[in-house]
Amino acid sequence: MHGWTIGIIGGSGLYDVEGVEDGHWVDVTSPWGQPSDACFVGRVGHVKVVFLPRHGRGHRVSPSELNARANIDILKRLGVTDVLAISSVGSLAEERAPGTFTIADQFIDRTKGRSSSFFGSGMVAHVSMADPVCPRLSALAAEAARAAGATTHEGGTYLAMEGPQFSTRAESHLYRSWGCQIIGMTAMPEAKLAREAELPYALVGMVTDYDCWREGEDAVDVAQVIAQLSANAAKARGLVMHLLQNLPEERSPSPIDTCLDAALITAPQVRDPALLARLDAVAGRVLR
């Protein structure tokens, strides 16, 4: 049993957190390359907080150019125990209107060309992604979202597209036929990498717009998205503070904490020392 260190990955519109005590920016070097930004580290009561702006301060990193491996790696190096990801998304369902929040519980990965694993030749591992989010953290996030005044939907499938362009109408209709409720550009491979790093992960999708599936409506544009961002961000800050202030002092173990126990497949005598060295933070628990 030990305390919480919550990693918060802030998406479009959420570039900082308020109310953090002893807050200061920390630069962390990763063997996986350059992360999006430094991390803002502090505490709220008994909870340690590590905030990472996913696109960097000033929103300077494109979704397709995010180094999700470095981002997850530095959170692990800073002692994060659980990750709350906050993302702006489009809606693929009528009832999930702009301004509402969705606590995603499934993902479909339609990204391409992104590095989606810490493991590879010389150290192969296969983690389960059947249930890609932490139900405990997701429930806490939903409670906090409602406390912050957001109409909140628990559960929903997030379609992760490559971007940075928005969908075609044909794609939007296809994703709806697959049963997806929200669409975004950043949750994958982020959620996969968090699982490989044994970090329980929950995602809050803040709806900014309807995707282009609705008949008779103009296509999505950036001005429409930005107009909704500030209202969503205010609720997101309230969500974060409510969550942090109401976590129990002791963090009970999660099965995700040890998911690598049954994931490693490469025999010890043929493991690549160079790759093992890069895995010191995300998989050091099982490789030492």
What string of DSSP letters covers the chain?
Answer: -B--EEEEEE-TT----SS-EEEEEE---BTTB--SS-EEEEEETTEEEEEEETTTTTT-S-GGG--HHHHHHHHHHTT--EEEEEEEEEESSTTS-TT-EEEE-EEEEE--S----S-BTTB-B----SS-S-HHHHHHHHHHHHHTT--EEE--EEEEE--SSPPPHHHHHHHHHTT--EEESSHHHHHHHHHHTT--EEEEEEEEEE-TTSTT-PPP-HHHHHHHHHHHHHHHHHHHHHHHHHS-SSBPP-GGGGGGGGTB-S-GGG--HHHHHHTTTTSHHHH-
* Residues classed as catalytic: 209, 211
